[in-house]
Amino acid sequence: MTLKQRLKAKALDLGFEDAGFTTTEPLDLYVKEVESRPEMYNWVMTEDFNLKRGANLSQKHPWARSLVVLIRNYHRRRFPEQLIGKIGRCYQVDERIEKDMEHQRMVDFFDFLKNQGIRFQFDEETPARMSAARAGLVTYGKNCFIYSNNSMLGASWLESIPILLDAEIEPDEPSIEIGCPSWCKNACIAACPTGALYAPKKMNPFKCIAFNTYYGDGITPMDLREPMGTWVYGCDRCQEVCPRNQAWTHQDLPENQKLKDRAADFQLDTLLRMNEDHYVNKVWPLTFYISRKNIAKWKMNAARALGNLGDRFYVPVLVESLNDSPDEVVRGMCAWALGRLGGSQVKKTLETHLPKEKGLVAEEINLALSKMRPL
């Protein structure tokens, strides 16, 4: 067996879905794309983290001779019903903090590289999707996600992991192209609730639900609140509707019991009411893009989602947080959510609470009152 065959065989043996190889030439198409839209991508071109720097593989890593890309299937098991439409699938099984089976797969692959005497590095700045396409493992969807060529029934529920190697390995045939069937009339673009997907393979991160659930300061912009629906961390909408994903998504997959057992920790009313201990020990280790200190962002997300859920059963928990939360973004979003749910009792509550507030929260209450529909 050649080294290339040995590496691929080991990756498959460890449970990765696929492995491919590419050179360390710059990922020019990636650089061209982000340079064409600086207003959308300058936030990932900073001194500390810079995807353009990462795309210049040979310049950043002059010792490297090739790139192996691994495909990890994050949808091996069924996701709990309670979390669908609230937390993006890939985040529900993210082991970067908790380190379980998936993490062990990586450790085992790295050990194998070490034993083969290969120098290697995983660099978070390397554009992962473009690396996988250049290694011939995936094609793009018009929703900007990548879809497996050889495994997972062609689905996009995958993570690509590029690893730089000092070994010279023959590259695979690139597949940097859109692989969507011609009969799909851009279902992903039509389904994107916020208009973040504004053209084939063009996504504005600042309008994307996923981005807005974990990044960005302050209260969610008004025009995004309703379209964000019940998502509190990530968004899978443009992958859920995609015909390329249906065969994989609708199989009878085994249950993820561990995740099912944790689902109650992420219920919307639990999130809105949670204390620091619940947040730091149960929520943050799985969903860590929001800082450990920013419990208010989670509570604001939960309040927005409860408003959009449209179930007046949750009025008391929203009123409780409007009264008790020390964070104005949470109280402000509770006011908005209560306004969405409406009702004469809610109207009275908001009117009674108004004199206790000023600034942002008072503005939100006034706005909620002005928009409330009579029941």
| Of 77, 202, 57, residue with least CA distance to 131 | 57
Q: Which of 44, 84, 187, 367 binds ligand SF4 (CB under 6 A)?
A: 187
Residue closer to ligand SF4 (CB basis): 155 or 346: 155
Under the criterion CB under 6 A, does residue 244 sit at the interface with ligand SF4?
yes
Angstrom distance (rounded) from CA 62 to CA 230: 46
Q: How far is residue 98's CA from residue 356's CA, in Å, rounded to a whole number?
A: 42
Q: Which of 286, 289, 239, 294 is nearest to 266 (CA)?
A: 286
Give the span between the Cα atoms of 255 and 251, in whole angstroms.
12
Which residue's CB is nearer to ligand SF4, number 209 or number 329? Answer: 209
Q: Reduced to 3 states, what is the DSSP secondary structure of residue 137?
A: coil
Radius of gyration over every alpha carbon of the chain, rounded to an integer in angstroms = 23
Q: For residue 225, state whether it binds ligand SF4 (rule: CB under 6 A).
A: no
* Subset of 341-370 contacting ligand SF4 (CB under 6 A): none
Q: How far is the CB of 1 from ligand SF4 (least distance, A)?
A: 36
**Contact call for residue 143 and ligand SF4 (CB under 6 A):** yes
Q: How far is the CB of 297 from ligand SF4 (least distance, A)?
A: 17
Instruction: Kindly state the helix (H) or strand (E) to which residue 339 belongs, with its residue range.
Output: helix 328-341
Q: Residue 259 half-sphere exposure, CB side, CA atoms within 13 Å?
A: 25
Interface with ligand SF4 includes 237 (CB under 6 A)? Answer: yes
Residue 242 binding ligand SF4, by CB under 6 A: yes
**β-strand 197-199 against 66-73: which pairing, if any?**
unpaired
Are 344 and 350 in contact by the 8 Å Cβ rule? The answer is no
CB 133 within 8 A of CB 18: no
Q: Is 255 helix (H, G, I), strand (E, B) or coil?
A: strand
Q: How far is the CB of 103 from ligand SF4 (least distance, A)?
A: 25
- For the four alpha carbons of 242, 131, 133 and 95, in that order, the dihedral sign comes to negative
39 or 48: whose CB is closer to ligand SF4?
A: 39
Choice from 169, 180, 224, 268 touching ligand SF4 (CB under 6 A): 180
Q: Binding segment for ligand SF4 among 32-40, 158-166, 184-192, 247-255 (CB under 6 A)?
A: 184-192
Segment near ligand SF4 (CB under 6 A), from 16-24, 37-45, 191-199, 251-259?
Answer: 191-199
Site residue total, ligand SF4 (CB under 6 A): 24
Q: Which residue lies nearer to ligand SF4 by CB, 141 or 339? A: 141
Among positions 123-142, residues that touch ligand SF4 (CB under 6 A) are 141-142
**Closest distance to ligand SF4 from the beta carbon of 185 (Å):** 7
Cα–Cα distance, 35 to 29 (Å, whole number): 10
Of 110, 112, 103, nearest in space to 74 by CA:
103
Query: In this structure, what are the phi and psi dihedrals at residue 22, rounded to the nearest 5 degrees?
Result: -145, 175
- Segment contacting ligand SF4 (CB under 6 A): 59-67, 76-84, 193-201, 306-314? 193-201
CB atoms < 10 A from the CB of 145, how many? 21
CB of 368 to ligand SF4, least distance (A): 25
CB nearer to ligand SF4: give 163 or 192: 192
Segment 198 to 217, residues that bind ligand SF4, using CB under 6 A: 203, 208-210
238 binds ligand SF4 (CB under 6 A): yes
User: Minimum Å distance from CB 80 to ligand SF4?
Assistant: 20
DSSP 29: H
Pairing, β 197-199 against β 146-148: unpaired
- The site for ligand SF4 (CB under 6 A) is made up of 141-143, 180-181, 184, 186-188, 192, 194, 196-197, 203, 208-210, 235, 237-238, 241-244
